[in-house]
Amino acid sequence: MSSVHEIPVGAVGELVLERPAVARSESPFAQGVRRLRRSTTALVGLAVVLLLLVVAIFADVLAPQSPITSDQTKTFQRPSWAYPLGTDQLGRDMLSRIIHGTRISLAVGVSSVLLALLAGVPLGLIAGYYGGRIDTGVMRVMDLILAFPIYLLAIILMVIFTPTAGLLGTIKVVGAIAIVRIPIYARLVRGSVLSVKEKEYIEACRAVGVRDPWIIVRHILPNCLAPIIVTTTLGIATSIIVEATLSFLGLGTQPPTPSWGWDLKANVSFIHDYFWLSLFPGLAIFVTVLGFNLFGDGLRDALDPRLK
Amino acid sequence: MRIYILRRLLGIIPTVLMITLVVFVMMRSIPGDPVVALLGDAYTEEDAIKTREAYGLNKPIAIQYLIWLGRLAQGDWGTSILSGRPVLQDVLFRLPVTLELIVLSMVVALVIAIPAAIIGAKRQNTWADYSATSVAMIGVSIPEFFLGVLLLLTFSVGLKGALPSSGWVYLPGTCTSVVCAAGLVGNLQHVLMPAIALGVGRAAILTRLLRSNLLEVIRTEYVTTARAKGLGERSVVLKHSLKNALIPTITVMGLQVGFLIGGAIVVETLFAMPGLGTYGIDAIIARDYQQVQGFALVTAFAFVVINLLVDLTYSLLDPRIRYGS
């Protein structure tokens, strides 16, 4: 067929015009993914997060020894081939403790944020959509939670729940952190709902007879999705710090469950002689939080470049 | 505007009372009570019941709260079970320590953030910008206690103990008790590492925020006009751009106070400082109700007042904002 630059002429001299190839328009989602792929920070963050996930899932296989069995004959060993990161005061291998600690940190970080999301998003949707007394009531409770300095509330909640070891202890920490984060989601979603609620297409939906719950889920919720995703990723980073802080104060998961914050606190007293014991758990926390922050930042830039 | 300020000042009281009420109720939901710790080894059921009656712990919670409020109105903050001293006395003793820590941390944060943000905004997308942003990203990801540990490693363990790892020397004039070590140099030595540990995290957040606000402001027309008028670059940046960029930044700084208070608790614990942070957490763990109430009262009050100050500063920086008109 004739090229674009020549005037296309057919057999009898009439103009033969090709339909110009229409570029397929990208969905916003695809645009976001493309921007994400271009951002180095986001990719580095994603790589770190994925690496941590692998370590957490395969902790049992990767850790050379058990993190909780103590060997009193081998306390305070310097880093060596047998104990790459040394041992602590109970003779436990630090490397294994740190590897298993990944599990706790990631589990607490992710589940507390997901829990807050599951509770906060519906609250925000209902409060924003129905307004009136429901809105006032819900937001009063949210403001009450937000009136507290975050750490103070988490500390008091953990003291009420009573820190314990094992799975139950971890669940308590997850619950405490989730409660503190719920208002963030509720307010975020409520703001989005309020900005969309009065638009014409919502009114059109109602006029056609679409039921309220379906309007909320199908038409209003997608608008909030981008901020929710970004808040969740960055929220995981904050949750990990809060969990580490709680453990540092002795109010998180209790020993023998391996926890980075606890290890850091427990070994600070030995910092003059065995400084690596508090250094490595701290480095682990730092790298984890950095990974999630980098990825979350990249996500934010990718999903809404206006925020840059 | 004056009416607004008055209204806000009056509004402090219900908010503070509400927070103290919630803390009151929450403390009493914790299993265990101070009587067990108080009696210690001499614990018997009879003594426990008698002690509870003496402290008024067997009355309904609402009554207990009203009793506490009543005493508070007369200036009696109760007596701490842990220390045996009046709570008010302990609070006044520890307040200067925490105040100094928080103020110095904000100073550290601003000293780091403002130049970094200005460099980042003026030389956007250059190496200077990228390094400033990366350092900010690192600062946000380090928990305060880990930074504190790193500082300890560098200055207390390494460098032959240049800075002390714990304890406190009071600023001359801030110590309300009879016996305490005071001195300017000693005070600076003790407060430097905690203030840096607490301030760097805030600096990181401030840098990112201020930089993006500055970028917005630099592109506005009035800055172009100022430059066209021939104003020196320093005047353009410091007087015009910075002031406007600070406005949304200060609002966020106010919200940061919550993190600052929590961070102060952690830093004080790490450096064993005799401040309100250690006061509060010791009280919560020991279930010392009176001490916790004193701590909650001071913290809630500070929190609310700082938010009010932030709002008022907002109005100061932008004369267009006048509340209550």
Mean pLDDT over A153-171 rounds to: 83
Distance CA B262, CA B153 (A): 23
Mean pLDDT over A143-163 rounds to: 82
Say how many CB pairs under 8 Å bridge A and B. Answer: 113
Distances (CA, A) of B310 to A8, B113, B259: 70, 18, 15
Q: What is the pLDDT of residue A77?
A: 75
Mean pLDDT over A94-106 rounds to: 87
Selected residue of B26, B141, B205 to mutate for chain A interface (largest A Cβ count, 10 A): B141
CB B95 within 8 A of CB B298: yes
Under the banding of pLDDT at 50, 70 and 90, the label for residue A2 is: very low
Distance CA B28, CA B39 (A): 18
Q: What is the pLDDT of residue B323?
A: 61
Q: What is the pLDDT of residue A249?
A: 86
Contact list, B150 vs chain A (CB under 8 Å): 279, 282
Distance CA B263, CA A152 (A): 10
Contacts of A108 (CB under 8 A, 6+ apart): A170, A173, A174, A177, A239, A240, A243, A253
Distance CA A257, CA A54 (A): 20
Three-state secondary structure call for residue B79: strand
Residue type, B229: K
Contact list, B141 vs chain A (CB under 8 Å): 237, 286, 289-290, 293
Residues of chain B with pLDDT under 50: 325
Is the predicted pLDDT of residue A111 greater than 90, yes or no? yes
ipTM: 0.78
Chain A residues within 8 Å of chain B (Cβ atoms): 41, 144, 147-152, 155-157, 159-160, 162, 237, 241, 244-245, 248-250, 261, 264-265, 268, 271-272, 275, 278-279, 282-283, 285-286, 289-290, 293-294, 297, 308
Q: Which of A29-43, A110-124, A264-278 has the highest mean pLDDT?
A: A110-124
Full-model pTM: 0.81
Under the banding of pLDDT at 50, 70 and 90, the label for residue A251 is: confident
Mean pLDDT over A54-73 rounds to: 79
Distance CA A228, CA A185 (A): 7
CB A88 within 8 A of CB A97: yes
Q: State how far Cα B161 lies from the chain centre.
A: 28
Q: What is the pLDDT of residue A287?
A: 93
Is the predicted pLDDT of residue A78 greater than 80, yes or no? no
Which two structure tokens, joined as six digits, stand for A76?
Answer: 């305070």
* DSSP letter assigned to residue B274: -
Query: What count of Cα atoms within 13 Å lies in the side-chain half-sphere of residue A262?
Result: 23
Angle at B173 between CA B167 and CA B174, to 5 degrees: 50
Q: What is the pLDDT of residue A20?
A: 60
Please give the mean pLDDT across all residues of chain A: 81
Three-state secondary structure call for residue B85: coil
CB contact under 8 A, B26 and A156: yes
Three-state secondary structure call for residue B125: coil
Contacts of A111 (CB under 8 A, 6+ apart): A174, A178
Which two structure tokens, joined as six digits, stand for B87?
Answer: 């709570």
Is the predicted pLDDT of residue A284 greater than 60, yes or no? yes
Angle at A255 between CA A252 and CA A261, to 5 degrees: 50
Distance CA B270, CA B194 (A): 9
Mean pLDDT over A267-281 rounds to: 81
A241 → chain B, closest CA residue? B143
CB B80 within 8 A of CB B290: yes
Q: What is the pLDDT of residue A82?
A: 73
* DSSP letter assigned to residue B126: S
A273 φ/ψ angles, rounded to the nearest 5 degrees: -105, -35
Is the predicted pLDDT of residue A117 greater than 90, yes or no? yes
Distance CA A165, CA B149 (A): 25
Which two structure tokens, joined as six digits, stand for B99?
Answer: 């105040």
**SS3 labels along chain A:** CCCCCCCCECCCCCECCCCCCCCCCCCHHHHHHHHHHHCHHHHHHHHHHHHHHHHHHCHHHHCCCCCCCCCHHHCCCCCCCCCCCCECCCCCEHHHHHHHHHHHHHHHHHHHHHHHHHHHHHHHHHHHHHCHHHHHHHHHHHHHHHCCCHHHHHHHHHHHHCCCCHHHHHHHHHHHHHHHHHHHHHHHHHHHHHHHHCCHHHHHHHHHCCCHHHHHHHHHHHHHHHHHHHHHHHHHHHHHHHHHHHHHCCCCCCCCCCCHHHHHHHHHCCCCCCCHHHHHHHHHHHHHHHHHHHHHHHHHHHHCHHHC
Mean pLDDT over A129-151 rounds to: 83
A278 → chain B, closest CA residue? B149
